[in-house]
Amino acid sequence: MTQPFLPLTARSRDEAHRAATPLELFFDLCFVVAVAQAGAELVHAVAEAHTAEGIVNYAMVFFAIWWAWMNFSWFASAYDNDDVLYRVVTLVQIAGVLILAAGVSRGFEDHDFLVVWLGYVVMRCALATQWLRAAHHAASPAERTLCRRYAGGVLLCQVGWTALLLPHESARPWVFLVMAIVEMAVPVYAEKDATTQWHPHHIAERYGLFTIIVLGETVAAATVAVKSGISENDAFGELLPIAAGGLLIVFAAWWIYFVVPAHDRLVSNRQAFLWGYGHYLIFASAAAIGAGIEIAVEQAVGKAHMSTLAASSAVTIPAALFLLCVWALHARYFKVGTAQQLVLPLSSLAILMCSFAGRWAVLAAGAVAAATVAVGVTLTARNPATRSPGHRAGGRGTQGP
């Protein structure tokens, strides 16, 4: 039974069988709303020939979504005590996420970030409260200082984000860039003298779950787009290659991400910062694949006035970026030999080249993605070093790209 109040003390990094809690899963699912809104607005921007502006807005909004998720996930990995107060404060953060999601459309269409900012106020005040509570129960002065640095950094950054509400529209991307850098500097500064006790397996699982959620949103968005195209335009023949190719890309993306044990890369704060921050590109590109499939569908049925090359690129570019980022962040550390190392980089290039395949571009990209998995599995099976159960994987072998 959940206790009303427990000390919010650091958990052990060596804790056995640490897994995501139902509250964390609920938190993740609420982010689906925000991710879906960002993807839908990107589709509308590209379809209406505002591609550059749409990409910039998407990068900004997705950073806000991802960073809010990051803040909670790493704190929870170190301090989750699951008492009533912790649950209530987390539910307040979830409310902030939903407020943020409600403001995504206004941010895209009218460059009005007031609702997004308000959502962040709710989330960041709740998060700062958690850090101050952890500081109160800290076991050492160093840990207390760490927690207070986090709380102060979170609140100061929230003040800085107020600049997005100023009327100088042309300055907003630069404000965003500066504030994003400052935000990412807060954990580096806070942990320069002591480190939080985040759990490697727990963090790897949390990131994996969010990857699944984003890929699931991609499948859902693409399915709705194909269904609408078929029912409204009777274009089954035109949409079948896009649907099949998109499904192959998502299946391959799942396989390639989960084929290696990511927690083996999380052995120090330095590696964790690079790995954790780098996932912004993985999550954003995975969500953009779904938006790209929607764009390709709208172009195929004549609803989006753009070239076939542009519509195809909306799928192939994020798909190639996803594969390349997964390789760069952790897959390459589990590969033996030149052939295994080159599979994902060369596949990324091949997927980009599929952009020029006309109406068959998405299907061709899907075929390349599927072939990438097949080649990776074959190379692994033929190489005794990677086939062995203990190869660089803490008792697990790798089975793919």
How do residues 232-242 score in pLDDT, each as one tens digit? 777 778 888 99
| Number of Cα atoms under 13 Å in the Cβ half of residue 299 | 28
Domain end marker among 139, 156, 190: 190
Q: When comparing pLDDT for 373 and 1, which is higher?
A: 373
Q: Does 398 reside within a domain?
A: no
Q: Does 373 reside within a domain?
A: yes
Q: What is the pLDDT of residue 400?
A: 60
DSSP string over 343-398: HHHHHHHHHHHGGGSGGGHHHHHHHHHHHHHHHHHHHHHH-HHHHSTTTTSSS---
Same domain assignment for residues 147 and 215: no
pLDDT at 384 over 60: no
DSSP string over 206-230: HHHHHHHHHHHHHHHHHHHHHHHHH
Q: How many CB atoms lie within 10 A of CB 328?
A: 16
Over 188-204, what HEC string results?
Answer: HHHCCCCCCCCCHHHHH
Q: Does 351 reside within a domain?
A: yes
DSSP 193: S
Any residues with CB less than 8 A from the CB of 168 and at least 6 apart, and which? none
Q: What is the pLDDT of residue 158?
A: 94
Query: Residue 88 — pLDDT band, cuts 50, 70, 90?
Result: very high
Query: Cβ distance 155 to 124 under 8 Å?
Result: yes
CATH number assigned to the domain comprising residue 368: 1.20.1410
pLDDT at 100 over 50: yes
Which amino acid does the sequence have at 160? G
Query: Cβ distance 372 to 365 under 8 Å?
Result: no
Q: Tell me how far apart the alpha carbons of residues 217 and 254 are, in angstroms, rounded to a whole number.
A: 13
Q: Tell me how far apart the alpha carbons of residues 255 and 320 are, in angstroms, rounded to a whole number.
A: 15
Q: Tell me how far apart the alpha carbons of residues 351 and 358 are, in angstroms, rounded to a whole number.
A: 13
Q: Cα–Cα distances in Å, from 127 out to 96, 122, 124?
A: 11, 9, 5
Same domain assignment for residues 216 and 305: yes
Domain end marker among 161, 190, 219: 190
Same domain assignment for residues 282 and 160: no
Same domain assignment for residues 171 and 278: no
Same domain assignment for residues 210 and 167: no
CA 329 to chain centroid, in Å, comes to 13
Query: Residue 394 — pLDDT band, cuts 50, 70, 90?
Result: very low
Q: Does 274 reside within a domain?
A: yes
Q: What is the pLDDT of residue 113?
A: 87
Q: What is the domain extent for residue 236?
A: 200-387
Q: Tell me how far apart the alpha carbons of residues 91 and 71 are, in angstroms, rounded to a whole number.
A: 14
Same domain assignment for residues 207 and 303: yes
Q: Does 339 reside within a domain?
A: yes
Same domain assignment for residues 285 and 316: yes
Same domain assignment for residues 54 and 160: yes
Q: Tell me how far apart the alpha carbons of residues 172 and 191 are, in angstroms, rounded to a whole number.
A: 29
pLDDT at 129 over 70: yes
Q: Does 17 reside within a domain?
A: no
Domain end marker among 159, 190, 221: 190
Which amino acid does the sequence have at 269? N
Helices (H), 80-171: 84-110, 114-136, 141-160
Same domain assignment for residues 275 and 174: no
Same domain assignment for residues 186 and 206: no
How do residues 176-201 score in pLDDT, each as one tens digit? 899 999 999 999 999 988 889 999 89
Q: What is the pLDDT of residue 3?
A: 75
Query: Residue 1 — pLDDT band, cuts 50, 70, 90?
Result: low
How do residues 145-178 score in pLDDT, each as one tens digit? 999 999 999 999 999 999 888 877 778 888 889 9
- Phi, psi of 19, deg, nearest 5: -135, 165
Query: Residue 393 — pLDDT band, cuts 50, 70, 90?
Result: very low
Same domain assignment for residues 159 and 222: no
Counting the structural domains of the chain, the total is 2
Q: Does 329 reside within a domain?
A: yes
Q: What is the pLDDT of residue 302?
A: 82
Same domain assignment for residues 182 and 221: no
Q: Does 184 reside within a domain?
A: yes
Q: When comparing pLDDT for 266 and 75, which is higher?
A: 75
Q: What is the pTM of this model?
A: 0.89
> What is the mean predicted confidence (pLDDT) over 9-33?
89
Q: Tell me how far apart the alpha carbons of residues 68 and 223 are, in angstroms, rounded to a whole number.
A: 28
How do residues 293-325 score in pLDDT, each as one tens digit? 999 998 888 887 889 999 999 999 999 999 999
